[in-house]
Structure 1
Amino acid sequence: PAYSTIRSADEDFEYSDDTVFFKFFFSLIPLVSIAAYYDEYKEKSLLSDERMKELTLRSLEMLVKGAQDRYIYVFTAMES
């Protein structure tokens, strides 16, 4: 949705290479990995579906938060 809104205001807008890279490797790949190994991990860990969902969401939140914090730090450092 945000991309469509920005794109409608600025037709030349494109995601930066680092944004595309991050989205692919740190959002798509972890989701594929979770989907591929979900049942196997659940069986070995004896966790409930509810707990697995909680852990998945918390892990993805930590990943995104860490990337956002790092981006702000790197971007600020690059500007100085």
Structure 2
Amino acid sequence: MIKCNLGKVYDVAERLVDEIEETPTVYSISGDFDLLAQFSVHTTDDIGRFVNDKVQTIAGVANTKTIICFNAFTKDSGYHDDV
């Protein structure tokens, strides 16, 4: 999740999508943060260094909060009782 400086949400979102190849999707959100960005990184990558070097250095980023997702549960993948 990314908190942006005032007036910079669209600039930050555009740079995330255009400049970081590991960014498949960026959502604008409401609440304490302005953007929710999904990053797809290799399992051996240092997540802290990725966020520090690639995300927090974008002009207009004020704060970040990192959440690591383990599994996506969808109708076509994920957990099934009958398997």
TM (normalized to structure 2)?
Answer: 0.29
Q: Which has the higher contact order (CA 8 A, sep 6+)?
A: 2
TM (normalized to structure 1)?
Answer: 0.29
Structure having the larger proportion of residues in helix? 1
